[in-house]
Structure 1
């Protein structure tokens, strides 16, 4: 459109108009006629009115193009008094395309009957006579109607020579009037709550029009009892702008706006019913003749003891399952495409209706809930909810009839509830249950596939087996604590760790794993972060448990487990924290581990030399000294320390004081600075040293050790004179101390001590 030239419509000549009219292809709109202005034309008031009417008509047509409904605001609430209503500010478009506007919130006095009567009668909104002032009772639609009136009188000049001046209104003012439209239902005099349910069924399932004029904008349906507001239901009459447009494919039962309004109306109606019922259960048909295809459920709709329900009719199939709470909106949106559930339908129609009751579960609790529900089963199936209808005897199965027989009982034994059953009961007691209507599709049974594990392990069977074992150990609470706070990747590592063969065979390692995982979560929270277990922490715990023999505390736990089963309360204490990891070190375990390590290095004879010729307190100190992490990492340093410890024994001495350990520690404080060891250290960095080279390091201690005097020197003559007596004395001393030493050690070390004595004797001869 060119704003300097006017409309972009193509003008045609009169001869073309005549031809088009004759052929019947020229369509004229009598509502869109406006004056044609030219110089010299005489204008009257009717011409200017026609001009304004033309633009008003075009605006109304444009308003209809976008649909009718509330654009923003216009919410209806109860006022401060029982006979008042408050309408919030806002604007909308009527079905006829007219704009209605409330620039501010207003309070409507329902007792102002004369105004309401005049408006209803004048606008033709009521088919029945308006009731008197004090007896207005029933259902009404509160609506807004666009009106206009003239005001602001001004002087009018005469239109003839003999005419007189008059006074006429000078302005046309557009306004919005609040009207009450009686709802055209059956007019029954029963409770207004029952009429509310029937009105909802008529609107949402029978596609019944609201019974109001196209020139008004409905805002809410209200129930009045002697001009007192009983309830207000906005979703029954209110529609958002454009909600009256149908679905694009045209396949939906009703426009999406109407289906969504049904859900919102049911939520508000259900909340009112639950608040008045006082927690008592009720069948849905007593208040709702029709249900939306998805919606919330009142609390206690499922009896957790026997999993029965009386909310839905007995003919309706009801199943119970769980769903992540963040996926519930998508499922409800999908279910809204189905038809509402008409509870007044025939038994045959209800028999082909099925609903699914869903318990929303937070996403971070999903794996734990699924694990608890999967106890003893390979798959997570839905739970059937039976109808609690005592009069449907014909539909009972023989087994159900037998269950109802009353047999005398000797004693009342409390029923044992399994872990999965207890979890089902907990979910059934939730107050946030929803239902969705299920589809009925005819599938071919021969095309239905089944689950098959192609490669790897079956994760479902692993989880079922793990949950069963954890329950038997009494550690379900600790496992739930870890899994609920673990990331998906960390949870996978945890399940794989706990399902490993080694932990399956050892309850104490299972408890220790849970304790270390719990400690990792607690540590993360203590450091100012969230109590979350990530994959790195889980892998760290898995690495420690892959070699429990390297952890002294784990070795002690395994030793206790080998002596006998550990009680369940002790396992729970181990799984709750890592205090067990701070217990004193067992010297016996250290000694066994050191002997295995030296035997693997080929230094068992050298160790026997030191072990046999040392006091018990020195032996214990040497074991702890050689068990240090620095010696465990370097076989060369172990051989060097062993050589320095064996040197006094080879020279004919006996280790009576722990000061020798301090001397060895001083000598090896900087092994890289020792000239004789530097080459060995470089060689060890390139390749592992074999046993013969390690024994060479032990035998050549005098060549590489730092120069110092360990013992008083003796002259060669004195050595020669005392050689034979010294040998006899040493042999005699060794013979006296050997039995005492052997007696102080476990019987299992007797053969080991004998070998050590022979090795010591051979070493002295060589020296």
Structure 2
């Protein structure tokens, strides 16, 4: 026998992994099983399209404490309507804003009134006993299936009477998955830094930093708390939408962007390798610092997580103008916006918030902060997403700018809130040049005579 007999030839159909659809023709006897196979084929085709688009949240599904129903011993979240795609390519649609109780009373065994007659890829979900109480949890949305109504039957097969439901509903369900306390045992839950440190542990920053010391080796395919959960209770059917910290006093915080991600399409570079790794026989090598699609999505989430937490800090503080960034943030995203106080508008103080952080021109008042054109901020943010977050524990340099349009509006006594923009010190300086298109009062000047 030739060695090529088992080798696939050009233009030879490969049936393995193919979608099998029912062939309809006049005179064929159809059964319920045939129609179920046809439904399965359509589901598989849709799932392949969903997997090509990528997993994550398409829009909506923001979770927050429900102010009308939330109680300390029975917390309730309000989840906005939205759409997500899980790793299996299934679309998860929440059609309306929904209140979700974190203390479960619903018995899943009583959810249906008929047999599971249709294909259910995620039935059952990953093993795990429901738990609730003090701890850190990930709230997820996952597919569910239920039956609805009754359909008439000809009675030819009495054994199928229990299957005569009129419709099966592809629905969604919410799940609360506990994070093992050992994963954050070194963090102090009573510290104001706990939320930020926990969020960046979900981002996998520590694992990424460790890998940066040896960038020639293979970039780790998984990192962070969410990837660790994937080996246990967090199945490919689940889409994480919120990180929840629950104490004896009730919900301490609900952090959406610590685990929520925008749609992440498959990365064509994920398997790309430049050459064999000479240090590990048989192992392929790639550069870990390539700004891959996942890193960009995570950078967007870091920026959104910072703005959400900053808003919560501002709302909870009685004197926000006295707060310092390092009190609440060990890590800053590569780009962010900080509102400043101007009574009656609440905000932070420039000198206090950035105190102890290396910046230009250094410690001082807001008046010494370089100007930037507000029209540049979108481009600066896009550029910043390619960079790593800022570790304040390492006293890293930070660019801080004042949008000159905002400063001019304040000078003209318009009703606006002052603001600052900051970005990773790895970026080039985007400060507005001298004269700034002939705006003499809102330009930056070099201290050419500083040494005199």
Same structural fold, with TM-score higher than 0.5 when normalized by the shorter chain: yes
Report 1 or 2 for greater relative contact order, CA contacts < 8 Å, sequence distance ≥ 6: 2
Are the structure 2 counterparts of residues 436 and 144 from structure 1 closer, same or farther at C-alpha, using a change threshold of 3 Å? same
Distance 2:91 2:178 in 1: 23
- Counterpart of 1:104 (choices 71, 92, 96) is 96
**Between Structure 1 and Structure 2, which shows a larger proportion of helix residues?**
1
Matched, 1:232 2:271: no
Q: Which residue of 1 aligns with 2:69?
A: 81
Q: Which residue of 1 aligns with 2:170?
A: 174
Are the structure 2 counterparts of residues 280 and 104 from structure 1 closer, same or farther at C-alpha, using a change threshold of 3 Å? closer
Distance 1:364 1:43 in 2: 74
Question: Which residues of structure 1 form unaligned runs of 5+?
Answer: 1-18, 345-349, 370-429, 442-459, 464-486, 493-767
* Aligned 1:383-422 pairs, distance under 5 A: none
Q: Which residue of 2 aligns with 1:72?
A: 59
* Aligned 1:423-462 pairs, distance under 5 A: 432-439=419-426
Distance 2:179 2:109 in 1: 15
Alpha carbons 2:47, 2:90 under 8 Å: kept: yes
Structure with higher Rg: it is 1
Q: Deviations over 1:147-173 (max 9, x none)?
A: 2233434436345xxx77844333322
* Aligned 1:542-581 pairs, distance under 5 A: none
Q: Deviations over 1:393-414 (max 9, x none)?
A: xxxxxxxxxxxxxxxxxxxxxx
Distance 1:228 1:364 in 2: 41
1:61 CA drift (Å): 0.6
Distance 1:116 1:39 in 2: 42
- Counterpart of 1:339 (choices 388, 403, 415) is 388
Q: Which residue of 1 aligns with 2:376?
A: 327
Distance 2:308 2:404 in 1: 23
Alpha carbons 2:193, 2:328 under 8 Å: kept: yes
Alpha carbons 1:247, 1:255 under 8 Å: kept: no
Q: Which residue of 1 aligns with 2:141?
A: 144
Alpha carbons 1:247, 1:256 under 8 Å: kept: no
Q: Deviations over 1:429-449 (max 9, x none)?
A: x952232222389xxxxxxxx
Q: Which residue of 1 aligns with 2:404?
A: 361
Distance 1:223 1:178 in 2: 17
Distance 2:324 2:191 in 1: 18
- Number of equivalenced pairs: 349
3-state DSSP class of the match of 1:96? coil
Distance 1:290 1:104 in 2: 35
Q: Which residue of 2 aligns with 1:208?
A: 224
Alpha carbons 2:333, 2:390 under 8 Å: kept: yes
1:62 CA drift (Å): 0.9
Matched, 1:157 2:152: no
Are the structure 2 counterparts of residues 332 and 440 from structure 1 closer, same or farther at C-alpha, using a change threshold of 3 Å? closer
Alpha carbons 1:293, 1:341 under 8 Å: kept: yes
3-state DSSP class of the match of 2:258? helix
- Counterpart of 1:34 (choices 11, 14, 21) is 21
**Between Structure 1 and Structure 2, which shows a larger proportion of strand residues?**
2
Q: Deviations over 1:246-285 (max 9, x none)?
A: 8999931644332111111111112323444423645544
Matched, 1:252 2:291: yes
Distance 2:85 2:298 in 1: 17
Alpha carbons 2:384, 2:427 under 8 Å: kept: no
Alpha carbons 2:407, 2:418 under 8 Å: kept: no
TM-score normalised per structure 2? 0.64
Distance 1:247 1:435 in 2: 30
1:53 CA drift (Å): 0.7
- Answer with 144-153 or 182-191: which moved more: 182-191
Are the structure 2 counterparts of residues 38 and 192 from structure 1 closer, same or farther at C-alpha, using a change threshold of 3 Å? farther
Alpha carbons 1:260, 1:336 under 8 Å: kept: yes
TM-score normalised per structure 1? 0.40
Distance 1:356 1:37 in 2: 66
1:231 CA drift (Å): 1.9
3-state DSSP class of the match of 1:172? strand
Distance 2:4 2:168 in 1: 39
Distance 1:195 1:289 in 2: 9
1:54 CA drift (Å): 1.1
Distance 1:221 1:117 in 2: 27
1:48 CA drift (Å): 2.5
Question: Which residues of structure 2 form unaligned runs of 5+?
Answer: 112-121, 208-222, 273-288, 341-347, 362-368, 429-433, 442-452
1:58 CA drift (Å): 0.5
Matched, 1:23 2:23: no
1:139 CA drift (Å): 2.3
